[in-house]
Structure 1
C-alpha cells in the first residue's frame, strides 16, 4: 500500500489572527469579537482532522473462471480496521484495462465506523485471456474536508478467461513416443497388462518372482504401454452467429474450445495440429514448445481475429512472421505475389473439403471437430471422416436461442443432428452455461459407460 496525505491551510486560525489584529489596531470591539468566529472554526478543524485511516480491501469474483462473453460480478469490500470514525471514504477500483464495465460503477463513497465495512459491486464483460486488476485507490477526508489521505491498495485478483480443460479421451491410435494414450500392447508402463513366457533379454525387474517361488518357472510381467497421440483440431468457421446480441458467436466459441484442448493435449506430450472447415486452411501436427503459439496465431489468421502470442498479448503484425521455418500454413487468402491460394480443388459444396482434409491428415491422426452443427454439411463431414477411417470426436457449442421461434426450430434441428451422429462418432454437447471442462467430463462418463 502506498499513501499520500494532503492538508489545507488553517483558514480559521488565519481569519482569527487577522480580525483580532485589526480590532486591536483600530480599537473596534466588533471586529475584535468577530475574530472568535475564526477561533471556533480553527478549533473545529483541529478536532476533526487527520482521520488516520487503517483500511483493508477485499475483492471477489463470480464466476471466478468465466467463459468469453460472460458477465463477471465484481464485489469490493472496504473495512475500517482503525480506532476512529471515517466520515468520508471514497473508493475507485482498478478495472482491468481490456475489460468493459457493463453494469454498476467501480466508484463508491461511504462513511465507516470503527470495525465497520461497506461493499459495492459492478459487472464486467469477460474476454479471452488473463486480466489482472489494477490498484484500488482509497481517499479519506476529515469532516471539514481540510485533510485528505490517499492510499493505493493492491489486491491480487485476475479474471482468467481460459479455464483448464480436463484430458480429452482419445482413441488407441498412437505414436512411438511416450504419452498418455493406453495401447493394446504390453511393455513398460504402470498398469498391469499380462504375464508371458520369460525371454533371455527381459530385465530382472520384470520377472514375476512370486510365480517363480511357486512353480520354479520364469515368467515376465508386462504393463500396459502408453503412447502419444496425434490430434488435428478441425474448427468450423462458417457461422459467425450468436444466440443473443453482444454474445460471442459460434466461431469464437469453436476457436476457444480448440485453443483450450490444444493447451491440454500439448501439455500431455501429444502432437496437435489444426484445420478449418471448409476452406482447407491447415496447420500440421507438432509437439514442440512453440506449437501452441503457432496454433493460436493460425486460428487468429483464418478466423479474422487478433494475433495472440504465447503470453496472451496481442500481436497485430503480419501473421506470417509468427510461424518459424517448417510450419505449414495454408490459408484461403491471396499470397504476397498475387498468385492463387494453396488449395486442393473446389470446396464450395463442402464435399471436396472433406476429401482434401482426409488426404492431409497423418495416418495415425485423430480429429476433434469443433462445430455448432447448425447445418447438415457439418454433420455429414463428421460422418464422412469417420467413414474414411478417422477417429472423430465432435465438440459442439450450442449457440441456438430458445427465445424465438426460429431459434427453437434451429435447436430442434441441431438436436436431431447430434442424435444421428452419436451412433457413429463421439459428441460432446456443450451447453454454454457450463464450463467446457464440465461438458467434457460429463461426455467422458457417457462414452465410458
Structure 2
C-alpha cells in the first residue's frame, strides 16, 4: 500500500493570498511584499515535491537457523533504483511479534543518491519455532519535509529456530555418484569453486565475461561438484555405564545417535553402513530405501539384544524397557579390564579390512578411555575423514567420576586437531549439539 501526503504544500500560497489582499486594502507596500515571499516559498515547495521512489529492500539473517536463545543479526539493505535523489528516507522493519530486539534498532533514517544503497543492523533473540517477518514500512520525504511518500514492502523472510531434525555436514571425501556433499573438485554445480584458463571445449555459458571485459582475456568459471558420501557409523559398545541410576547409559546414547544420523544421512542420498567396536560386526554401506531399517536391526541385534536392554528416544525423553545389565559409573578403575578387547585381538585392523577406503567414519563413543581416542586417530591416519560424536556420561559425584570427567575433557581437546568433534551433553537434544559443532567447524 502506497500513500502520498502533503503536510504543508499550500502554506506559501495562503501566505501570498492573505498578504497580498491586506497590502492592497491597506496600501502597505511592506505587507504586499510578504506576498512575494509566500509565492517564492510556494514555488520552492512545488519544486521540492517528493517523487515516487523506486527502492529495492533486502533482509539477511545470520545465522539463518539459530538455536533457541541464540542472538541473530538482522541486516536490512535499501537501494535507490530510481532517477531522483531522495533526501529523507525512513525505514521501520517488521520484527516478528514473538521476538525481542536486544541490540540496535529496527528503525533507520538515511539519504540516498541515485544507485546508492544503505544498510542497518539490529539483533534479536531467537525463540523455538518458525517466525515470519512482517511488512517493512518506508517513508520518503522531500527536502523541506512538506510532502512525504509512504509505502510498505513485503520481504519474505522466515527465521527457523527448530531443533527437531539431525543434520551433519560431511567432509569432502566422496564417491563418484551425485549427492549433496560438496566435493573437493570442480565440475557441474551451483557454488563457485575456481577460475582457470579458457579451453576451446568449454561451453560459452561458463566464460567469465566480466573478467573478459576488464582484461580482454578469456577465463572459465568452475563450480563445486556435489557428490554422495560413503559413511560408516562406528558405535563404541564397550561401556554400558550411566552417570546416575535409571539414566540411559553410554551405549544407549551412542546407539541412539547412530540411528538418528543414519536416517539423516540417507535422506541426503549418502551410502550408509554401520559397525560395532570392538566386536567388529559390520554392515556394508548402501543407499537403498530399506537401509535405515537394516541399520536399526543391525544395532539391535549386535548391541541392544545381547545385553537384554533397548532404549528409544524422542528428543531427550527416554523410555528404557529393561535396565538389567546396566552398570552405573564407578570411575576409571578396571574399565579396560572389564570391557576391553577380547582374546587379545586387534579390532582396529579387523575393521580396517572391512571398511571401504573411500568411506568416512562417524565414531559414536563416550570417550571413556585412551583406546577410543586411539581409534579415532588411527582411522584418520588411514585416510578416512573421521567425525566423533561423543555423549558425556561422566559426573562429579565421586572422586573417580570427577577424574574421569577431566580425562575425557583432555581427550576431546586433543582430538579436535585431528578429527571433527561433536561434544554432546545428553540433557540437550542431539540436533543442538550438531548445530553448535558445525558452527565451530565453519568459523
Bin for the TM-score computed over the shorter chain:
0.5 to 0.7
Say whether 1:203 aligns with 2:220.
no
- 8 Å contact kept, 2:386–2:419: yes
| CA distance in 2 between partners of 1:257 and 1:219 (Å) | 46
- 8 Å contact kept, 1:194–1:222: yes
Q: Note the residue ranges of structure 2 that are not aligned, 5 or more in a row.
A: 1-162, 312-339
Q: Which residue of 1 aligns with 2:50?
A: none
| CA distance in 2 between partners of 1:221 and 1:387 (Å) | 34
Q: TM-score, normalised by structure 1?
A: 0.52
| CA distance in 2 between partners of 1:239 and 1:189 (Å) | 44
Q: How many residues align?
A: 251
After superposition, the Cα gap between the structure-2 partners of 1:194 and 1:417, relative to the gap in structure 1 and judged at 3 Å, is closer
After superposition, the Cα gap between the structure-2 partners of 1:423 and 1:196, relative to the gap in structure 1 and judged at 3 Å, is closer
Q: Which residue of 1 aligns with 2:390?
A: 396
Q: Which residue of 2 aligns with 1:174?
A: 174
| CA distance in 1 between partners of 2:263 and 2:422 (Å) | 18
Q: TM-score, normalised by structure 2?
A: 0.53
For residues 282-303 of structure 1, the C-alpha deviation after alignment (integer angstroms, 9 at most, x for no partner) is: 0011111111111111111111
Q: Which residue of 2 aligns with 1:221?
A: 221
Say whether 1:422 aligns with 2:416.
yes
For residues 100-158 of structure 1, the C-alpha deviation after alignment (integer angstroms, 9 at most, x for no partner) is: xxxxxxxxxxxxxxxxxxxxxxxxxxxxxxxxxxxxxxxxxxxxxxxxxxxxxxxxxxx
- 8 Å contact kept, 2:389–2:424: yes
| CA distance in 1 between partners of 2:238 and 2:421 (Å) | 19
| CA distance in 2 between partners of 1:413 and 1:215 (Å) | 59
Give the C-alpha shift of residue 375 in structure 1.
1.8
| CA distance in 2 between partners of 1:431 and 1:402 (Å) | 14
Q: Which residue of 2 aligns with 1:357?
A: 351
Give the C-alpha shift of residue 215 in structure 1.
5.5
Q: Which residue of 2 aligns with 1:287?
A: 287
Within 5 Å, give how 1:422-441 maps onto structure 2: 422-441=416-435
After superposition, the Cα gap between the structure-2 partners of 1:211 and 1:447, relative to the gap in structure 1 and judged at 3 Å, is closer
Q: Which residue of 2 aligns with 1:249?
A: 249
SS at match of 1:179: strand
Give the C-alpha shift of residue 257 in structure 1.
0.5
Give the C-alpha shift of residue 238 in structure 1.
1.2
SS at match of 1:389: coil
- 8 Å contact kept, 1:297–1:307: no
Q: 1:380 aligns with which of 371, 374, 384?
A: 374
After superposition, the Cα gap between the structure-2 partners of 1:350 and 1:287, relative to the gap in structure 1 and judged at 3 Å, is farther
Q: Which residue of 2 aligns with 1:444?
A: 438
After superposition, the Cα gap between the structure-2 partners of 1:413 and 1:197, relative to the gap in structure 1 and judged at 3 Å, is closer
| CA distance in 1 between partners of 2:357 and 2:287 (Å) | 17
Give the C-alpha shift of residue 216 in structure 1.
5.5
Within 5 Å, give how 1:24-423 maps onto structure 2: 163-166=164-167, 168-213=168-213, 217-305=217-305, 347-348=341-342, 352-423=346-417
| CA distance in 2 between partners of 1:221 and 1:380 (Å) | 42
SS at match of 2:171: coil
Give the C-alpha shift of residue 212 in structure 1.
4.5
Which deviates more, 260-269 or 215-224? 215-224
- 8 Å contact kept, 1:228–1:269: yes
For residues 358-417 of structure 1, the C-alpha deviation after alignment (integer angstroms, 9 at most, x for no partner) is: 111111111111011112221122222222222211111011122233322221222222
After superposition, the Cα gap between the structure-2 partners of 1:401 and 1:172, relative to the gap in structure 1 and judged at 3 Å, is same
- 8 Å contact kept, 1:379–1:421: yes
Show structure 1 runs of 4+ deviating over 6 A. Answer: none
Give the C-alpha shift of residue 247 in structure 1.
1.2
Give the C-alpha shift of residue 307 in structure 1.
9.3
| CA distance in 1 between partners of 2:417 and 2:215 (Å) | 48
| CA distance in 1 between partners of 2:423 and 2:212 (Å) | 52
Give the C-alpha shift of residue 419 in structure 1.
2.3
SS at match of 1:186: strand
